[in-house]
Amino acid sequence: MDENANHLAVDKKLIREKFDLTGKKILDFGCGMGGMTLWYATNWECDVLGLDIDNHHVSIARKMKEKHKAKNARFEVRNVLENPLTEKFDYVFLNDVAEHIPLDILKQIIRQLGASLAEGGRVFVTYPPWKSPYASHVTHAVGIPWCQYLPQGKLMKMIEKNNMVLVGDEESDLVEAYKGLNHLTHEKLMNAIDGSGLKPLYRKSHCILNKVPGLKDVPFRIPPFDYLITKEFLLLGK
């Protein structure tokens, strides 16, 4: 919920610029331990549902809800492919979750999320693209940006040496977290969206070079600058 937390600071700034969530019905899909769900709920007068497939994550999220007295937030353990959504939402957010879902399953989920939008509803997806220096999700442990490009045998030994337990049923340590990544790129996400009835309305590629004065809004998507993109943002609608 920290407004300036490094891995979500850009996300929050962009959401504040692009969305007014007042009075809206929000779905935080893949909510994890509820940080963003509670951020939405405590910054706007909106109704927020946080969904996750992981029992441990939702258990912690519910405790955090009580701690922060966020009465307009609720949490649910749910596999939407086995138990489809029936509610309609004005906004669906996927913050740093799409890269953890197998691409064939992601395609099915996006199709269902599109069907769960209210009139004029939007889906907002954020993720670190596979070329990102931090896309491996283990850079903090092995100390090497772009470590996903190391020989995999060597990288796995480094991860195992620096392995740590994670709170969750689905990904219980860094080894499982790394192996569970789908190497998501914009092209792969576009393929997952195909057939969902959704189309891109807005895209932002946040690059390390955007911190340079005068380059704030420049989209560095041409090689080799695309290797400096740390986060992709995509807004979808019908």
Task: Report the candidate in 237, 231, 192 with the shortest Cα–Cα distance to residue 92.
Answer: 237
| Strand blocks (E) in 20-145 | 25-29, 47-52, 73-77, 89-95, 117-127
* AA identity, residue 206: H
The band of 4, judged by pLDDT with boundaries at 50, 70 and 90, is confident
- Residues 59-68 have a mean pLDDT of 95
- 102-111 confidence digits (pLDDT tens): 999 999 999 9
Task: Report the candidate in 1, 14, 9 with the shortest Cα–Cα distance to residue 50.
Answer: 1
Q: Do 37 and 89 form a contact (C-beta atoms < 8 A)?
A: no
pTM (2 d.p.): 0.95
- Residues 43-65 have a mean pLDDT of 96
**Residue 236: predicted pLDDT:** 98
Arithmetic mean of pLDDT over the chain: 95
Residue 217 Cα distances to 12, 13, 116, 209, 220, angstroms: 16, 14, 32, 10, 9
Domains and CATH numbers, the chain: 9-132+182-237 (3.40.50.150), 139-175 (no CATH)
- 174-231 confidence digits (pLDDT tens): 999 999 999 999 999 999 999 999 999 999 999 999 999 999 889 999 999 999 999 9
